[in-house]
Structure 1
């Protein structure tokens, strides 16, 4: 299935809204997992009722932003997402959904919006994530010590990545780098 991505004025390339619903009652902003892009969540825009408009965060270094340098820290990510969404979030209620690495980023953006702009989501959905004080979270900080093969095995174990992607050397290398870069962002947020 072909999904057309609509880049909205003022949102530049950081936010994708595949199915624009100006009369929606609420916006759901989705934050993908480490190494993830927009394609999975883009489908949600079609599946939800017309009362919910789905947007997806697209970080630098992937998809149409593949030639851009990866973000170096959580502050840069927070600032870019906030800048892209701020006007939009003042129009109607919104919720965040973050999965895995995206859960941490969505939480950080929610805290920033509340502290700096007095805005907060009506709900913050988090999935597939460890508590920031857990041993598993602390082990993620050692992602640069993990062998490429072990990262790929974990990706295969989790599922969701087409096997033909994992057979392509360029795609594999980019996926591993993207995962490493995304996880390293988490280490810059306290």
Structure 2
């Protein structure tokens, strides 16, 4: 489980687990630190996807099913222990939603709450785009990232940082572009 989940503050007596899913290209550390903001009744798990952090040598997920299957198979025993909620931001909103749907359909389990932010609904017309962002040239991709906002200028102007940041972002965009 430690391969997939970052939990910086173990709380065995917690009544609820908050399981957080990262944004496109993101890692697990940011959300794992949220546990400092909660009392002992909430334990925070943060999902670490292939291709980042301690999993940097692994290939990125190619499909939403790959992500959902790994999360579901890994967490299933833990999900029976106590109530759980999901939080996902942007790409994480899609992965948390897809995971919740799979858990309900295949295991008759569901989070007590699904918190999502930073993205339109999976069926929204705003998601339909003729141009797939993951297939843009590097120059067009950087322009898109700059215009979309949310990426610090320091990263966009640092070629070394971009070499680390762009591959997982493109991989996650490919997953979302082919989801639903």
TM over 0.5: yes
Contact 2:132 2:177 in 1 (8 A): no
- Per the TM alignment, residue 144 of structure 1 is displaced from its structure 2 partner at its CA by 2.6
User: How far apart, in 2, do the equivalents of 1:182 and 1:25 lie?
Assistant: 32
CA 1:166 to 1:39, structure 2 compared with 1: closer, same or farther past 3 Å? Answer: farther
144, 148, 160: which is aligned to 2:141? 148
Contact 2:6 2:29 in 1 (8 A): no
* Secondary structure in structure 2 of the residue aligned to 1:158: coil
Contact 1:98 1:126 in 2 (8 A): yes
RMSD value over aligned CA atoms? 1.9
Q: What is the match of residue 76 of structure 1?
A: 66
- Per the TM alignment, residue 168 of structure 1 is displaced from its structure 2 partner at its CA by 3.6
Q: What is the match of residue 158 of structure 1?
A: 150
Q: What is the match of residue 92 of structure 1?
A: 82
| Count of residue correspondences | 177
- Per the TM alignment, residue 153 of structure 1 is displaced from its structure 2 partner at its CA by 1.0
TM-score scaled to structure 1, two decimals?
0.86
Q: What is the match of residue 15 of structure 1?
A: 5
Structure 2: stretches of 5+ with no match in the other structure: none
Q: Which has the higher contact order (CA 8 A, sep 6+)?
A: 2
Task: Summarize the alignment of residues 1-190 of structure 1 with structure 2, pairs less than 5 Å apart.
Answer: 11-139=1-129, 142-146=132-136, 147-154=140-147, 157-159=149-151, 161=152, 163=154, 165-190=155-180
CA 1:84 to 1:108, structure 2 compared with 1: closer, same or farther past 3 Å? Answer: same
